[in-house]
Structure 1
Amino acid sequence: MLSSDRGNLESCRRLIGEGDLVIVYERHDAMKAITVKGGAEIQNRYGVFKHSDWIGKPFGSKVLSNKGQFIYILAPTPELWTLVLNHRTQILYIADISFVISFLEIVPGSVVLESGTGSGSLTTSLARAVAPFGHVYTFDFHEQRAASAREDFQRTGLNQFITVDVRDIQGEGFPEKFSGKADSVFLDLPQPWLAIPSAGKMLTSDGVLCSFSPCIEQVQRSCEAMAAEFTDVRTFEVLLRTYEVRDVKLGDLSSCGTRSFGKLPCKRKQRFLNEEHGDETMEEVPTSVMAKPCQETRGHTGFLTFARLRCL
């Protein structure tokens, strides 16, 4: 398991042991979380992999199957956990998460309130950001969802930085015991404007609030609710654009804008006329590394609205 006293960096250096949670990496779009058990094995397209072969190896190792194919065994960092966790709800991904942590000004030692917990994608990264001295208090109205999130945080070893409670924040607000003690508050709710007055009471002087909403109508109502107690209200939409990087035959550069790199022939040859001898010669076309935007890009996920508690 990830150990709090070692931290994520140390967990990458230490050796894999019985009972550790690991990320099995086949390729960038094929990963899963597995608990290491001495007598267990997994099977996939690359063959059979025995857990016993992983024990004693450092995280990040390449391990072989009975067919001689390989996978990587990685430490369960928050970034990787976001990609493999069970989707009990729609989750936040790395582009939004990194933006939230930066604009909420979260640092080690911060106290953060979150509602709702959902699948725990953001919560996991929040816990890593506040460690080793801070804490994340996260709330979800759905009891079973909250219980599943607790189990996940236990598996990843971050449970000592996270407290999960069942509470309807929209209807009840945050518990009064946190009044004036939270450095940051994050809301991911259908009607966040109902919880904004309570969030304002929880924040320390100059604290920061963030509300995530998929629809602009929700953003508009939230901004109206923030006007009474908050200042510096800003809304962002984070769009991520990825690029393909491939070796391309120079003779095909003219078609790069209209054809996918993946369809280029691997051993295409070019004919040219040798002027001195008058014969036709076959020669390999030189290659060049090119980058182009991916044809399939993840689009809109939601709007992030930030506001700072007005100092009286």
Structure 2
Amino acid sequence: MSLSGYKQFIEPNDTVILYLCNNLHAVLVQEKIRNKNGILVENVYQTPFGALKVKDLIGVQYGSKVELSKGWGHVIQPTPELWTLCLPHRTQIIYSPDISMILCQLDLIPGKVVVEAGTGSGSLTHAFIRCVKPKGFVFTFDFHPQRAQFAQKEFELHGVDQFVSVKCRDVLTCGFGEELNSQADAVFLDLPKPWLGISWAKHAIRYDKEVMT
């Protein structure tokens, strides 16, 4: 639950960022993992600076220097920016400079509702979540079932799944669903031929009646 808010010490199931000589590695803090044969074994993370017994991270303060078998590194609490630099790529992603401009242009603040079409690797989605939580919400869509499943699992591991809904849908053909009509403060289309989704975005956007009159 390490992306849901700032914390001091590493706990089981946290995702931590291991900083090694200008390289970042995302490590899931679990004492045991299953090997290729499906057998539970001790979780040992291999790096160019030697092995790290992941269970030894539990209780360590974020920002601390940690020993590896052939060197050392630092453990850092992840942010959307750090996660963007070391996440598993399922698609081409948007990086922090462009993400900053997108958040600014969409005028996102806590409490807003944002719709994203094209979850992909979840880089931008994590930034959306941080902007709108705790009272806002993100609806994100991807047409690829496996990508949607992976994203949902990551949001759960990171402790932010209560702020986001992941759905598998081709929004260019089917739209966002009637339940989102006039519910969104912002819509972002990261898709091939995004202009085909503009009519669906118009249905999803919430308009201020006082401004319109």
TM-score bracket, shorter-length normalisation? 0.7 to 0.9
Counterpart CA distance in 1 for 2:82 and 2:73 is 15
Once the 2 structures are TM-superposed, how far is the Cα of residue 51 of structure 1 from its aligned partner? Answer: 2.3
User: Going by fraction, where is strand more abundant, 1 or 2?
Assistant: 1
Counterpart CA distance in 2 for 1:157 and 1:149 is 12
Partner SS, residue 204 of structure 1: coil
For structure 1, the 5+ residue unaligned runs are 207-309
2:50 corresponds to 1:57:
no
Deviations 1:167-220 (A, max 9, x none): 1111112212211111000001111111101101211226xxxxxxxxxxxxxx
Q: Which amino acid aligns with 2:177?
A: P
2:58 corresponds to 1:45:
no
Contact 1:138 1:162 in 2 (8 A): yes
Contact 2:116 2:188 in 1 (8 A): yes
2:27 corresponds to 1:24:
no
Deviations 1:55-86 (A, max 9, x none): 2211111111234x211111121111111111
User: What does residue range 1-312 of structure 1 map to in structure 2 within 5 Å?
Assistant: 1-2=1-2, 4=4, 7=5, 10-11=6-7, 14-28=8-22, 30-38=23-31, 39-67=42-70, 69-205=71-207, 311=212
Counterpart CA distance in 2 for 1:3 and 1:84 is 14
Deviations 1:119-176 (A, max 9, x none): 1110011001101000000011111111111111112111111100111111112212
For structure 2, the 5+ residue unaligned runs are 32-41
Partner SS, residue 19 of structure 2: strand
Counterpart CA distance in 1 for 2:124 and 2:21 is 23
Q: Which amino acid aligns with 1:27?
A: C
Q: Which amino acid aligns with 1:61?
A: S
Contact 1:76 1:156 in 2 (8 A): no
Counterpart CA distance in 1 for 2:178 and 2:2 is 32
Q: Which amino acid aligns with 2:2?
A: L
For normalisation by structure 2, the TM-score amounts to 0.88
Partner SS, residue 196 of structure 1: helix
Counterpart CA distance in 2 for 1:177 and 1:201 is 10
Once the 2 structures are TM-superposed, how far is the Cα of residue 2 of structure 1 from its aligned partner? Answer: 2.2
Contact 1:91 1:118 in 2 (8 A): yes
Counterpart CA distance in 2 for 1:123 and 1:31 is 20
If asked which structure has higher relative contact order (CA below 8 Å, sep 6+), I would say 2
Contact 2:2 2:159 in 1 (8 A): yes
Percent sequence identity over aligned pairs: 45
State the structure with more CA Rg.
1
Counterpart CA distance in 2 for 1:190 and 1:178 is 22
Contact 1:22 1:76 in 2 (8 A): yes
Q: Which amino acid aligns with 1:191?
A: K
Counterpart CA distance in 2 for 1:174 and 1:52 is 42
> Cα RMSD (Å) of the superposition?
1.7
For normalisation by structure 1, the TM-score amounts to 0.61
Partner SS, residue 88 of structure 1: coil
Contact 1:53 1:63 in 2 (8 A): no
Contact 2:3 2:79 in 1 (8 A): no
Once the 2 structures are TM-superposed, how far is the Cα of residue 3 of structure 1 from its aligned partner? Answer: 6.4
Once the 2 structures are TM-superposed, how far is the Cα of residue 32 of structure 1 from its aligned partner? Answer: 1.8
Q: Which amino acid aligns with 2:94?
A: L
Deviations 1:256-308 (A, max 9, x none): xxxxxxxxxxxxxxxxxxxxxxxxxxxxxxxxxxxxxxxxxxxxxxxxxxxxx
